[in-house]
Structure 1
Amino acid sequence: MTSPVELAPADCTYLHLDTARSPMHWAMVLELAPGPRLHLDEVRARVRERVRLYDLFRLGVRNGRWRRAEAVLAERVDIDKHVTGAEYRDDADLHRQLAARHETALPRPEPLWHITLFTPAGTGVQYVLLRVHHALSDGIAGAAFAALLADGGPEQLTEFERFATTPRYRIPSIDPEVLKESKAAFEDQWKAGRSGRDWPELTRSGRREVALTSASTRDLRRAARNHGASVHEFLLAAIGRTLSLAPPRDTSSELLRVTLPVTHDQGFRHTGNAVLVSLVNLLGAEPALDRQLERARAELAFVAAKRPELSLAATDDAPKIPWPVHRAIANASMRRMSPDIHIGINPGFSQVRAVLGTPIAALTPISPLVGYSFSVTGLILGGRTSFGIVTDPAALADGYAATFAGNFDRVLREAAEREGAHP
């Protein structure tokens, strides 16, 4: 293995936060349309053909916990190890297997991604699970990894290049006055969410549960329009309402401290990580959607105006300190932030919608639990918006991921069916 690049500070953040019980990889679940089943050998052959397209696919990390991380390029990728197959009995079994893999760290210093082809034991459709360490890529730049599988010739595959070949994203120094205002805004948000919270904390169990659901993008837009809201405002409010109607362990948390990802790259043309974290405080015991919308709208307006996410930006001019010290500081900062939940609403980019001739019926993102015990991540891609739910069952109780998914479906349906007064 050789050393190709120096990881950017934002990339290293996810190495600092990574532990054996809380691995920092995100995942994408591809649901394949009904039809002839793919064979594992076919998938491996496609990946073997594509893995040399970009250095990103051969990028791994040596060390990175208590010893300084070193980016390394594999001379050869063992495709049989990186692309594996599994059988599932039903949806519940599939979700259990997805959760088991979400709990399992990707081995170092091998390239930090893995693909699993899930095939039903009886009737049903196939799924592909792609896992990628967050140090390699955030969810937006993660579109590059679609090139490992997606159908298309060189011309079609060029759409992925901007996420694989640009320099790793770096955040320059921030104007002192802007940073001062950002830090004050972040502190205001943190203080506002300090009381009235009773959400169960992430445990050290290392256990995860996963649930998947989706909705028509057209229905979501209609529901948002019915309530005079943007889709982003509406989804935050709908999640707040769902958690209020069916909280875990019958808790009643007045407020929910939420980490909300905000990209620093408005051009969406980066490799690596350009995501920053903002804090918003949603209502945790408010079943009225309109009240939830008022709060979501105000919180998003505050974030847009004050940009609190800049206060924690891993900039290129940050002081150079020993790796173990930096890791300790990163983890102490996360403990101090003490978020309850994570909500990500992401745009989709790919126009390639098939793998080895089989159409992709749905793409669902799954996020790691970074200091919080509950995460819901949405992907708006064409006519379908998908949601990946991840929970710590030791904190929220067994089965809560599926419970939330069912209640969330109902909340979205009810909102879409309402005849709004807004034009």
Structure 2
Amino acid sequence: MMLDRPSALDALFLYLEDSRVGLHIAATAVFEGPVPDDEQIRARWTQLTTTDPRYRQVLRRTVLDLRRPRWVERGGFDIDYHLRRTALPAPGGTAQLERTVGQLVSQRLDPDRPLWESCTIEGLQGGRWAVLVKVHHSLVDGLGGMALLARLLDAGHPAPPPPPSAALLRRVLAAAAAPPRVAAALAGSAGGLLRYATSLWPTDPTSLTGPLGRARRYRTLTVDCADVRTVRAALGGTVNDVVLTMVANAFRTLLTERGERPGTHAVRCLVPVATRTAAQADEGANRVSVVLVHLPVDCGDPATVHAVIRARMTAAKTSGEAAAGERGFAAADLVPAPVFAAAVGALRRIPQRVVTTVTTNVPGPRAPQTLLGRPMVALFPFVPIADRIRVSVAVSSYVDHLHFGITCDRATVPDADVFVAGLAAGLAGLVTAAAG
């Protein structure tokens, strides 16, 4: 079933975009072997866009936003416009790849064309090359973007066309239910809604938030999953708990290096979480909501930070906060389109002081993958920054490694390397604590 209108949540990403902020997600996959030529890349994308019409459509807003935007076919679809190629300057190392990716993700997608691009990047050290896939957030979420990449790789080729977004379909169907049903669902999450309300106090003012420029700075980090397993075996918790502990240490390091006090309420992190129940185990859709959690950047002991984060994340997920967020998304679909668009416009004019950063963990392939017979060796995700958030973190697993993609505002975060060093030191501290 191909839906011609996005949900309120997906339309939100379109409404929030402006000349300084592009709300697309991306992933950079690194490969070994000879670089494919243009015809090989074009053939793979041609099949994907032929089987899934969404990648040939544009999202049109209506006059005065009287109705939600609508997906429509764009006449004269030119796939070559969406396929780019570039080469790294010598020596083609990590720094050159990060700089090039930062430049590519700084460019907004053309709203008059289908909202995706693919760029083949040549000239990586060791005879490697990469593909950067960039897709607007109104078209896919992180999991949907990973599914798109999977279909591009050899293991998913050819593949039957999936729904444009199973999660989107679920939200639209929920919105079609009678308002009393949605009201009852929201009432059932009263505790979670209360927790949300009490978590929306402004954070302490720091240099971590503020106005954004147009350009982005991008950094990467790769860690061994064996270290994460060691920490979990000794200290308990989830992969997300380990990641958030690393992020907390990175922000503590960044604030300290800037001469700022890492206070108790300095960093509040928005974290996407799964809300699937046992009864939904066989569903193809991913149920995802968000929680807000204060990172204890005031503490320098890794084991203590991990324990605090573990407790806070457990409380957030068991209190109904995540479920309240998901039902809130469904309820937003009941709001008339012009009211919703006007509300978003009004909120954009109010400086956001609630969320300091976003950390998202999107599981990637567990088995080795190839593209046109070339082995994939790394997968670095990208999540956008917006609404005064100057640093965000995305994590993707691939085989036995976690790959971090850190997005920063280029003008106000010249010290991104300090943040990356803090991430690595955070994991090293956890490994040491686990061994003790």
Distance 1:65 1:293, change over 3 A: farther
Q: For the residues of structure 2 that align with 1:417 and 1:164, how far apart are their CA atoms?
A: 42
Identity rate, percent: 20
Do the aligned residues in 1 keep the contact of 2:26 with 2:145 (CA within 8 Å)?
Answer: no
Q: Which residue of 1 aligns with 2:301?
A: 288
Structure 1 residue 221 displacement after superposition? 1.2
Partner of 1:249: 258
Name the residue aligned to 2:247. Answer: 239
Letter in 1 for 2:391: F
Q: Which has the higher helix share?
A: 2
Q: Which residue of 1 aligns with 2:194?
A: 184
Report the alpha carbon displacement of residue 277 of structure 1 after superposing the two structures with TM: 2.8
Q: Which residue of 2 aligns with 1:304?
A: 317
* 8 Å Cα contact 2:289-2:325 kept in structure 1: no
Does the CA contact (< 8 Å) of 2:382 and 2:405 recur in 1? yes
Taking the aligned partners of 2:166 and 2:298, their CA distance within structure 1 comes to 46
TM-score, normalization by structure 1 = 0.86
Is residue 4–residue 73 contact of structure 1 (8 Å, CA) maintained in 2?
no
Measure, in 2, the Cα distance between the counterparts of 1:408 and 1:144.
Answer: 27
1:228 aligns with 2:231: no
- The whole-number CA distance in structure 2 between the counterparts of 1:238 and 1:92 is 22
Q: Does 1:48 align with 2:50?
A: no
The reply to whether residue 108 of structure 1 matches residue 115 of structure 2 is no
Shift of 1:344: 1.1
Counterpart check, 1:23 vs 2:22: yes
Partner of 1:259: 270
Q: Please state how far the C-alpha of 1:149 moved relative to its aligned partner.
A: 2.5
CA distance in 2, matches of 1:96, 1:65: 39
Which residue of 397, 401, 407 corresponds with 2:422? Answer: 407
Question: Structure 1: 5+ residue runs without aligned partners?
Answer: none
Give 2:145's aligned amino acid. G
> Any unmatched runs of 5+ in structure 2?
175-181
Q: Residues of 2 paired with 1:21 and 1:212: CA distance? A: 23
Measure how far apart 1:30 and its partner are.
0.3
Residue identity opposite 2:417 in structure 1: A
1:363 corresponds to: 379
Partner of 1:394: 411
> What's 2:219 paired with?
211
Residue equivalent to 1:36: 34
Question: What residue number does 1:62 align with?
Answer: 60
- The residue type equivalent to 1:79 in the other structure is I
**Which of 338, 361, 364 does residue 345 from structure 1 map onto?**
361
What secondary structure sits across from 1:14 in the alignment? helix
Shift of 1:394: 2.5
For 1:165 and 1:179, the matched residues in 2 are separated by 23
Query: How far apart, CA to CA, are the structure 1 residues paired with 2:166 and 2:309?
Result: 36
**Contact 2:249/2:425 (8 A) holds in 1:** no
Q: Go from structure 1 to structure 2 and tell me whether the alpha carbon gap of 1:239 and 1:326 turns closer, same or farther (over 3 Å shift).
A: same
Judge conservation of contact 1:212–1:364 (CA < 8 Å) in 2.
yes
- Over the aligned positions, Cα root-mean-square deviation in angstroms equals 2.9
Question: How big is the shift at 1:177?
Answer: 2.2
User: Of residues 117, 133, 158 in structure 1, which corresponds to 2:120?
Assistant: 117
Farther-moved stretch of structure 1 (323-332 vs 366-375): 323-332
Deviation at 1:141, TM superposition (A): 1.7
- 1:419–1:341 distance in 2 versus 1, CA, 3 Å: closer
SS in 1 for 2:26: strand
Note if contact 2:393-2:405 (Cα within 8 Å) is conserved in structure 1: yes
**Structure-1 residue corresponding to 2:178:** none
Alpha-carbon distance, 1:122 to partner = 6.9
Distance (Å, rounded) in 2 between the aligned partners of 1:161 and 1:151: 17
CA distance, structure 1, for counterparts of residue 45 and residue 203 of structure 2: 50
| 2:8 aligned residue | 9
Q: CA deviation at 1:306?
A: 2.0
- The letter of the residue matching 1:157 is A
What count of residue pairs does the alignment treat as equivalent? Answer: 409
For 1:380, what is the secondary structure of its paired residue? Answer: strand
Moved more, 359-368 or 346-355: 346-355
Mean Cα deviation higher: 107-116 or 301-310: 301-310
